Amino acid sequence: MRETPPVPHPPEAVEAAILSRRSVRAFRPDPVPPALVRRLLAVASRAPSGTNMQPWRVYVVTGAARDRLCDALVAAHANPSAGHESEYPYYPDQFFEPYLSRRRKVGLDLYGLLGIARGERERMHAQHARNFRFFDAPVGLVTTIDRRLAVGSWLDHGMFLQSLMIAARAHGLDTCPQAAFAPYHGVIRAHLPLRPEEVVVCGMAVGYADEGASENALATERMAVDEFAAFLGDEPGDGMPFVEPS
């Protein structure tokens, strides 16, 4: 029987990687070593998946390949009349509470930091276009899933993405998962060797945060544990001090 290896770092180190993960929207140009990107992907591949199906595929773009893809995506974004649509619904057709309020707040908070007022559509459009430059991160990822798979495999794919982002934090890197890429799967197919059965799930920027950028000061709120969890037996944690993460 295979033994589970011990965690070499204290629990606080793991928690710190999780708690410090954020969606960074401005990166420094500092290169990320290719060997480190490979290491992060190898670590993330240990994410759980039903019957070990591993329903993820990743395209890593850097340098000239990244620039060509970004140029094409920015051009497509500038032409909304082309009717780009995602191959899967990320959001509901109609937002409702409490999700509508949370969505509005994070948008207002972000644009407030950027000095973009409500109704400044051109500036909002320009900010959204920064997605397609991976927010200037030196490494861009595009992840896909086989369209023949079911909901459970999409859950597995999400666990892979989270594992990747936490592993990146452990190495001092930052990330931004980007659903904005999904509607432009046709453009992406022209630049990356996607198979017909592959659905573009998202993009992801990987690099080092530009801490001087105002947008990176965004601090999103989270619900307290008692707002989303119900304890139906003996409440866990007796004898262990617990401080709600801020």
Residue 2 pLDDT level (bands cut at 50, 70, 90): low
Inside any domain, residue 6: no
Please give the pLDDT value at position 240: 57
- Indicate if the pLDDT at residue 242 is higher than 80: no
Q: Which residue has the tokens 């850097």?
A: 62
Q: Which domain holds residue 50?
A: 22-86+132-215
Q: Which CATH number fits the domain that encloses residue 199?
A: 3.40.109.10
Cα radius of gyration rounded to whole Å, the chain: 19
Q: Convert the pLDDT of each residue in 98-110 to its tens digit.
A: 999 999 999 999 9
| Number of domains within the chain | 1
In a domain, 232, yes or no: no
Distance of CA 123 to the CA centre of its chain: 23
- The predicted pLDDT at position 82 comes to 80
C-alpha span between 244 and 232 (Å, rounded): 20
Q: Is residue 31 part of a domain?
A: yes
Tell me: the pLDDT tens digits for 194-217? 999 999 999 999 999 999 999 999
- Looking at the domain assignment, is residue 55 inside a domain? yes
Taking residues 109-125, report their average pLDDT: 95
Q: CA–CA separation, 98 vs 83, rounded Å? A: 30
d(CA 209, CA 28): 6
Check if the beta carbon of residue 87 is closer than 8 Å to that of residue 74: no
Asked whether residue 220 is assigned to any structural domain, the reply reads no
Would you say residue 91 lies in a domain?
Answer: no
What are the tens digits of pLDDT across the range 139-175?
999 999 999 999 999 999 999 999 999 999 999 999 9
Check: pTM over 0.85? Answer yes or no. Answer: yes
